[in-house]
Amino acid sequence: MLSKKVDLSTKKESETEHTTTYGRRYFGEPVPKYVMPDDGMPARAAYQLIHDELNLDGNPSLNLASFVTTWMEPEATLLIAENLDKNYVDNDEYPQTTVIQERVVNMLARLFNAPEDCESVGTATIGSSEAIMLAVLAHKWTWRKRRQAEAKPCDNPNIVMGADVHTVWEKSARYFDVELKLIPLQEDTYIVSADEVAKEVDENTICVAAVLGTTFTGQMDPIKEINDLLVDVKKTKGWDIPLHVDGASGAFVAPFVDPDLEWDFRLEQVKSINASGHKYGLVYPGIGWLVMKDKNDLPEELVFRITYLGGEMTNYSLNFSKNSSPIIAQYYNFIRLGKSGYADIMTNMMSNSHYLAEKLRDTGKFEIINKQKTLPLVALRLKDAAFTVFQLSKMLRQKGWIVPAYYLPENAQDVAVMRMVIKENFSRDMVELLFSDIMQAYHSLELSEAEREERAKGKKNLSLLY
Ligand SMILES: *Cc1c(COP(=O)(O)O)cnc(C)c1O
């Protein structure tokens, strides 16, 4: 047979795959950034371009800034991948996912010691933020219905909390038009006190929020004292003010580490609790939980009964569609680990964080500011150093460690702290490595500060240095 010369201009990309991915034209040209390209590119090329760009992100396992889970077992990851294509809201099509959510809510209500004669209700959310917004709405509606029934004005609701709350509380108050009564922190303890709460509550208070493990220092508000105060207010003044516990982190720690600590539905005025499944619930983001002690704490007008795709479902959420996987992964952890498994993991995290705190304290250079052992983290400030935690944090970043430094909220806004969250996959060995890098960074900052001072004194001839 006679062969003929091929016209090169019609030759397709796929026919020149003799080179590696990087030899292809997509890697010698800028990537489309702000205008959707007219044509696509091979999957392999798109994957590699984005994969490589994301290498600039920090390494999640060295990220001590976030409370959010950075490791799960391969079997959990498999379940997550298998269910990525299920929209949670299609209850009728995926009834088993709804059943699984219900099991988790049941387990949580009991873990939080809901009395058996209460009909607790709850829902999965995207995170604690959505759960908190839903709780604020429920309490606002309950308060308003009660005021209307009593023919009293209901145009001025307020919510009371300490300045140690997460930013979502301020956001919720603003979004849902509730006056925010934010109590400045107590010096030295960096939490709120029941006495301060007592001064702020009134007949228009829809709810008091208390934190089980603040994001700033990991400490706990005096939840039981605030509850007792609210019980007293109910008796003496007749105002039935619910207490919401923000257990974003702590609600998955306290039940396993300190089961006798009374912070949950055992307390009379605690009517709602949120928890972040993606923090110490040990699930990848985004999953949170809201549990209401009793269905009466959730006004029925807020629960939507939707007829959709063939069935009726009840829905209490801010958004509609979402992924089912994190809910399934939460259930996986519950049955895989059980209470004893969670307790073992929490105990390791606590002991590794104590170990790090003690080692740092023993150097005499740091003051550990989370005196209560509520969460596995270390929050510290520098003891008379010539440099700041911000410089230390920056220096650690050069090694790959992500350790945040920040100022505390109102009343303690001059206190600069550095905080390290110890997660499941942060072993004792990692603690040792981190400690040694902190000390190395500390000494090199000390040296460069000393050098700077000497230079300022003119002892060194600057021209010799350059
Ligand atoms: C993380 C956190 C939140 C917000 O939770 P998300 O799950 O990130 O939405 C709220 N409150 C506290 C105390 C937190 O630690």
Confidence of residue 11 (pLDDT cuts 50, 70, 90): low
Mode of pairing for the β-strands spanning 288-292 and 121-125 = antiparallel
Instruction: Compute the distance between CA of residue 164 and CA of residue 354 in angstroms, rounded to an integer.
Output: 22
pLDDT band at 465 (very low <50, low <70, confident <90, very high): very low
Nearest ligand 1 atom to the CA of 278 is: 7
Residues in the chain: 466
> Quick check: CB of 127 below 6 Å from ligand 1?
yes
Q: Is the per-residue pLDDT at 15 higher than 70?
A: no
Per the prediction, the chain carries an average pLDDT of 93
pTM for this prediction: 0.92
More confident residue, 94 or 208: 208
SS3 at position 111: helix
Residue with CA nearest ligand 1 atom 14: 248
Which tokens belong to 35? 């205008």
Does the pLDDT value for residue 21 go beyond 90?
A: no
Contacting residues for 27 by C-beta, under 8 A, at least 6 apart? 21, 45, 48, 49
Give 400's contacts (C-beta < 8 A, 6+ positions apart).
58, 59, 62
Note the pLDDT tens digit of each residue in 180-232: 999 998 777 889 999 999 999 999 999 999 999 999 999 999 999 999 999 99
Q: What pLDDT was estimated at residue 466? A: 44
Q: Could you tell me the pLDDT band of residue 306, with boundaries at 50, 70 and 90?
A: confident
d(CA 322, CA 285): 12
Q: Where are the alpha helices (DSSP H) in 277-385?
A: 325-362
More confident: 128 or 2: 128
pLDDT for 427-458, tens place per residue? 999 999 999 999 999 999 999 888 888 888 87
* C-alpha–C-alpha distance, residues 101 and 122, integer Å: 9
Tell me which of 220, 246, 274, 318 to substitute to probe ligand 1's pocket, judged by most ligand atoms within 8 Å of the beta carbon.
246
Q: 8: pLDDT confidence band, cut at 50, 70 and 90?
A: confident
97-101 own/partner pairs: CB under 8 Å, 24+ apart:
97/324, 97/327, 97/328, 98/313, 100/327, 100/328, 100/331, 101/327
CA of 194 from ligand 1 middle (Å) equals 22
Q: What pLDDT score was predicted for residue 5?
A: 84
Ligand 1: centre distance to CA 279 (Å): 8
The one-letter amino acid at 25: R
The model's confidence at residue 56, banded by pLDDT at 50, 70 and 90, is: very high
Determine the Cα–Cα distance for residues 157 and 80; give it in Å rounded to an integer. 41
**What's 363's DSSP letter?**
T
Query: What spatial distance separates the first Cα and last Cα of the chain, rounded to whole Å?
Result: 76
Whole-angstrom distance, CA of residue 54 vs CA of residue 357? 32
pLDDT number for residue 187: 76
β-bridge mates for residue 243, sequence order: 208, 270
429: phi then psi, degrees, rounded to nearest 5: -60, -45
Specify the CATH architecture of the domain 347-451: Alpha-Beta Complex (3.90)
pLDDT higher than 60, residue 462: no
Q: In what order do the strands lie in the sheet with 405-407?
A: 366-368, 377-382, 416-421, 405-407
Token pair 């257990």 is found at 247
pLDDT in the model for residue 247 = 98
Exposed e or buried b for every residue in 390-417, given b needs 16+ CB within 10 A? ebbbebbeeeebbbbbbebbebbeebeb
CA of 65 to the centre of ligand 1 (A): 13
Residue with tokens 């050069």: 398
HSE of 333, CA atoms in CB hemisphere, 13 A:
29
Contact 369, 217 (CB under 8 A): yes
What pLDDT score does 48 carry? 96
Contact in structure between 79 and 310 (CB atoms under 8 Å):
no
CA 326 to CA 278: how far, in whole Å? 8
- Cβ of residue 168 lying under 6 Å from some atom of ligand 1: yes
Domain ranges of the chain: 78-333, 347-451
Distance 127 CA to ligand 1 centre (A): 7
Outline where DSSP puts E strands in 106-260: 121-125, 158-162, 179-183, 205-211, 243-246
- pLDDT, one tens digit per residue, over 410-433 is 888 889 999 999 999 999 999 999
Its CATH architecture, for the domain 78-333, is 3-Layer(aba) Sandwich (3.40)
Mean pLDDT of 246-254: 98
- Dump pLDDT digits (tens) for 365-375: 999 999 888 99
Q: How far is the CA of 96 from the centre of ligand 1 (A)?
A: 28
